Amino acid sequence: MPVAGVARGLVVVAVPGDKRAVALGAAFEDSDREGPRGGRAITWVSWAEALADPACVGARGQPGDWLRVDSPGADDATWHALARLGGFVREVPPGEWRPGRAWARGLATALSAIVGPATHLVPTHPHILAMTDKLACHQALDAGAVPVPGTFEAPATVATLRERVVGERRHAVFVKPRWGSSGAGVLAWRRNGEREQVVTTASLQADGRLLNDKHLHTYTDRVAIDRLLGTVIGDGAIVQRWIPKASADGGPFDLRVLVVDGRIAQRVARVGRGPITNLHLDSARADPDRVLARFGRPAATRVHAACLAAAACFPGHRAIGVDVMVDPGGRPFVLECNAWGDYLPGLRVDGLDSYGVQLRGLFAVDSAEAA
């Protein structure tokens, strides 16, 4: 526990120059506009340093300081270092879809080595592993009575997967890499008898490699579909019931809702051009109040309640990005939770961006405890 009267610092493990680290640093620089820092400071530790010498993270902080282990982001060297720690041996060229199983294993090993010797620090993100594993995340949400689409772990082969989907009379499902983010490798799979279609961000190459880009691709050839499905489920995947999303501004939408310290902090609606609505796919931002207004006030209340219930499944994790959709009847379904889902550039509430909100909450706790 922090010592009364002593301001807590913040130790951050991050990739230098990463967009999240830059935004967090800028928010900290802005924080002195609200009042003196009282000796508070951010101590930065690069992911490279943390992986080379995990004990150095704890050594940089004082008892009671906060510890934020931030996303390794898209940094190529950090991804490969974590994946190698998990047993991955080959190099994945930039732009190629990256399998996540070994990366997740390496992340678990790295977090254990970083956090283990740092018990005197207070983690801001204690449930990283539970949310970077989509199956574990769904299980936690389901156990918490959060409304979620039906989800099961994908079987090991395409033939078994197709047999199950056909046997359950499902005509549309999402197949998602169990470990991954930003819609990479997600397959929106529809079937009508013998006819099938997959919409995905992955561009299938002649040699079987998958390349990620900011465009949606549609495949109807069974050979291509089997290759896509086989690649994704071969590394571990979940299968999620496809619930139609409500539409706004000419496309389906969902919402990213940031829950900070158990409260709704920021929200943005994402209107897509197809079934996958991540903002990095050039989905359009929209006002969440406006897109929900047609369902009446109860819809927004239900959405917020679902997001708060989802965040409550991961106690102590101070900022959670909840992806939530509403069906055409206005009923909410939480699709997933994001341990590092707080990067919402350009979005401000009461003059603060997502990192400013978190810093205010972290250091307000200090002030209350020292009073």
Q: Judge if 326 and 257 occupy the same domain.
A: yes
Q: Judge if 38 and 62 occupy the same domain.
A: yes
**280-294, 296-310, 323-337: least confidently modelled range:** 280-294
Which pLDDT score is estimated for 364? Answer: 79
N-terminal to C-terminal alpha carbon distance within the chain? 15
Predicted TM-score of the model (pTM): 0.93
Q: Judge if 25 and 113 occupy the same domain.
A: yes
Residue where a domain stops, chosen among 241, 273, 296? 241
Position 366 pLDDT exceeds 60? no
Q: Judge if 234 and 310 occupy the same domain.
A: no
Segment 201-260, tens digit of pLDDT: 889 998 889 998 878 899 999 999 999 999 999 999 999 999 999 999 989 999 999 999
Q: Judge if 250 and 206 occupy the same domain.
A: no
Which pLDDT score is estimated for 215? Answer: 83
Q: Judge if 232 and 258 occupy the same domain.
A: no
Asked whether residue 3 is domain-assigned, the answer is no
**Residue-number span of the structural domain to which 228 is assigned:** 151-241
Band of pLDDT at residue 38, cut at 50, 70 and 90: low
Q: Judge if 229 and 258 occupy the same domain.
A: no
Band of pLDDT at residue 370, cut at 50, 70 and 90: very low
Asked whether residue 141 is domain-assigned, the answer is no
Band of pLDDT at residue 280, cut at 50, 70 and 90: low
Can you read off the two tokens belonging to residue 102?
């070994």
Which pLDDT score is estimated for 340? Answer: 96
Number of domains the chain contains: 3
User: Per-residue b/e over 132-160, b at no fewer than 16 CB within 10 Å?
Assistant: bbbbebbbbbeeeebbbbebeebeeebee
Asked whether residue 143 is domain-assigned, the answer is no
Q: Judge if 117 and 55 occupy the same domain.
A: yes
Asked whether residue 292 is domain-assigned, the answer is yes
Q: Judge if 254 and 234 occupy the same domain.
A: no
Residue where a domain stops, chosen among 241, 267, 287? 241
Q: Judge if 223 and 262 occupy the same domain.
A: no
Q: Judge if 33 and 118 occupy the same domain.
A: yes
Band of pLDDT at residue 73, cut at 50, 70 and 90: confident
Asked whether residue 322 is domain-assigned, the answer is yes
